[in-house]
Structure 1
Amino acid sequence: MAASPAARARAAGAGVDLTRIAGSGPGNAVLLADVERALGARPGGASEPTQGKSRPGLDMVEMRRAIAAAMSRAKREIPHYYLFHEIDLQAAQDRLAALNAARTPDRRLLIGALLVHATVGALAKVPELNGRFEAAPFAPAGAVHCGIAVAMRGGGLIAPAILNAQGKDPDAIMDAMRDLVTRTRAGRLRMSEITQGTITVSSLGDGGVDALFGVIFPPQVALVGFGTPRLRPMVHEGRIVPRLAVTVSLAADHRVSDGRRGAQFLAEIDRLLQEPVIP
């Protein structure tokens, strides 16, 4: 049944059957508030009062509780495997710099949009990494709803999805990323953006860490992580020179793919970033 990630996590932690809860969200989806009402209605089962709300509608205590439950479920139920690969970004960065030189600041592309665009494009070659494992046998999703990990100002992390990302060029991806970040921090996300993600991309941006090895957000089957792009000594045209590079990692569900297919996926991301499709 349809339910928000926070509702699923809260219900799992409290031992509540979601199918017995009436949902008040779009399409009768079960929301966190519905679960809390159900807990409060149980004999002797009033839910704990929550504290630490940074602003109306955003409960950081509940967010951390939901994240903890989801990640615990992921490590308990999903047999992860991990791969990582270093990608030369210099050609992409050079083309990006030339493009942005002729644009106003509000229309400039960031390297993160190219990373997401390449990830979405690579799924065409390895589609089994895109989807939600909600019933066996697993079937890849037809559309790519790409979750983007967004850090909340008050703490915590949420990954709303760019819906139908497979049909967007880098500019559209960039616009969607800006929009999601703004609405996430304002607490104005749509239920579909929270509940329908089919893969997640987590990027450290300028966080200063070379690589990350993530935990898959269930029921998705893959998470792609990008470390901080930085200058590194690389062999280019027979010489060792400083080039911008990034380490990309893949956390994938071994029930639906294997290391060979995961390696093909990372290699395809690399190929797409060598000649990025930039307007």
Structure 2
Amino acid sequence: MTATEQRFREFKMPDVGEGLTEAEILKWYVRPGDTVTDGQVICEVETAKAAVELPCPYEGVVHAVHFEEGTTVDVGTSIIAVDTDPGAGPAEAPAPAAEPAPAAAEEDAEPQGRQAVLVGYGAAPSSTKRRARKPQPGVPAQEPAAAAVQAELNGHAAAPAPAAPAAPAAPAPGRPLAKPPVRKLAKDLGIDLATVTPTGPDGVITREDVHAAAAPAPATEAPAPRPDATEAPAASGALRPRETRIPIKGVRKATAQAMVNSAFTAPHVTEFVTVDVTRTMKLVQELKQDPDMAGLRVNPLLLVAKALLVAIKRNPDVNAAWDEANQEIVRKDYVNLGIAAATPRGLIVPNIKDADAKTLPQLAQALGELVSTAREGKTSPAEMSGGTVTITNVGVFGVDTGTPILNPGESAILAFGAVKLQPWVHKGKVKPRQVTTLALSFDHRLVDGELGSKVLADTAAILEHPKRLITWA
């Protein structure tokens, strides 16, 4: 490592999860010139699992920030440079990647001199001939005589001047020139770079070029209305866009892939049961007044979680995983209970470690912390790994039930529907009772119909008569 490299330290995007390959920079907390200390949070990134804050491992002054917010960066790529000895005076920091040289510098260079390249392209494999520069907006085209002199200086014979004005030169074949962040922006916006007119030096496509290509062209004449047109004219007379494109990335991208893998790997079976939970709802109100539960999150989901844990204890074979590589069923002697949580970044499933070993107050505290952390977007990848069984509470949306898809690697997931006042036969008479529907999806490779039915029936029986939390535990 050279003295310059020892002074200017490059911080690379770390693998903040389990084998993740990329992360999106959500927000920078520092800018060039800011003083940073070892362990100070410098940015927030979103991986395929969660949003994570990254601490700086160096102390000094921020020399350069290599990527803008919203850029997806591969793990192992330098994202920031820190000058660890700012008092040593000015020094040229090593560039993390080659940048295109200015156009003027290229013109002055010898034919055998250094050729400017973009990150990921390398030098052109051809000879010393340079690609003709594209005319810049507002700059007059070079006169034929000047072109001939320039060609002679470059070691090439000047072509005879055409009798008539020549047509604009076609763009050079090959991959359009653009930096990785610009390519990422074009991909997110659905823009083909081959159709974008570059305005940057040496024909490089800039972010402004991509945004200009993405913007709808101004209409010169209002089109005639179509019989099937559904868009309404805006105040200016232009038509409202009928589609909005949202890039698939981060948590939502990972969730989609996981659900597809689960749905087409594990054979799902879903069973349903409708149960009278009037006594459970009464117990929830009593627990809210209990001094031992003061300050804790007490709601129906808490008792559903406790009921499922007791049912698993009575039927431990449901708490297992299918090991395809070794052709084994791995029964877990612990329960890491996942709770599906909807966040602005998508659905995540953090889990309560060793939930089966917790008392009701401990379970309530863990559940409250899990929900609060998820809402703040601070759930770590470790909190979402290692789950064994999951609960998804669709009742909070007023939904009666559903057919939930298993979390990859888990054997069962319970959907808890809305609790509603319904007519119910109770002690031989039709009375209004608090009723809900439970749905249990399970992996039929290792959970057969009998086992799945027992788990669902036991859970329902506990919620109908919550005193079984004591007698069955």
Q: TM-score normalised to the size of structure 1?
A: 0.78
The answer to whether residue 74 in structure 2 is matched with residue 37 in structure 1 is yes
1:75 counterpart letter in structure 2: A
CA distance in 1 between counterparts of 2:372 and 2:248 reads: 18
Residue 73 of structure 1 aligns with which residue?
261
Q: Deviations over 1:72-121 (max 9, x none)?
A: 10111111011010121111111222232455873352111000111111
1:222–1:252: 8 Å Cα contact kept in structure 2?
yes
Residue 49 of structure 1 aligns with which residue?
184
The answer to whether residue 341 in structure 2 is matched with residue 150 in structure 1 is yes
How far residue 139 of structure 1 moved from its aligned partner, in angstroms, is: 1.5
CA distance in 1 between counterparts of 2:381 and 2:396 reads: 29
Pick the structure with greater CA Rg: 2
CA distance in 2 between counterparts of 1:132 and 1:192 reads: 19
Equivalent position SS for 2:250: helix
Deviates more, 1:261-270 or 1:123-132: 123-132
How far residue 32 of structure 1 moved from its aligned partner, in angstroms, is: 4.7
How far residue 133 of structure 1 moved from its aligned partner, in angstroms, is: 2.5
How far residue 168 of structure 1 moved from its aligned partner, in angstroms, is: 1.5
Tell which has more relative contact order, 1 or 2 (C-alpha 8 A, sep 6+): 1
The answer to whether residue 281 in structure 2 is matched with residue 93 in structure 1 is yes
Percent identity between the aligned chains? 27
The answer to whether residue 119 in structure 2 is matched with residue 82 in structure 1 is no
- What's the RMSD between the two structures over aligned residues? 3.0
Instruction: Judging by fraction of residues, say which structure has more helix.
Output: 1
How far residue 263 of structure 1 moved from its aligned partner, in angstroms, is: 0.8
2:15–2:75: 8 Å Cα contact kept in structure 1?
no
How far residue 247 of structure 1 moved from its aligned partner, in angstroms, is: 0.6
Which one of the candidate residues 189, 194, 206 is aligned to 2:384? 194
The answer to whether residue 286 in structure 2 is matched with residue 107 in structure 1 is no
Q: TM-score normalised to the size of structure 2?
A: 0.47
Q: Paired residues, what number?
A: 246
Which one of the candidate residues 398, 413, 422 is aligned to 1:208? 398
Structure 1 residue ranges without an equivalent (≥5): 1-22, 53-58
1:132–1:218: 8 Å Cα contact kept in structure 2?
no
1:128–1:139: 8 Å Cα contact kept in structure 2?
no
CA distance in 1 between counterparts of 2:279 and 2:392 reads: 22
> Any residues of structure 2 matched to 1:187-266 within 5 Å, and which?
187-266=377-456
Structure 2 residue ranges without an equivalent (≥5): 1-13, 24-47, 49-72, 78-119, 122-179, 190-246
2:422–2:434: 8 Å Cα contact kept in structure 1?
yes
1:119 counterpart letter in structure 2: L
> Any residues of structure 2 matched to 1:102-181 within 5 Å, and which?
102=290, 106-107=295-296, 109-135=298-324, 136-152=327-343, 154-181=344-371
Equivalent position SS for 2:322: coil
CA distance in 2 between counterparts of 1:39 and 1:60 reads: 22
CA distance in 2 between counterparts of 1:185 and 1:60 reads: 21
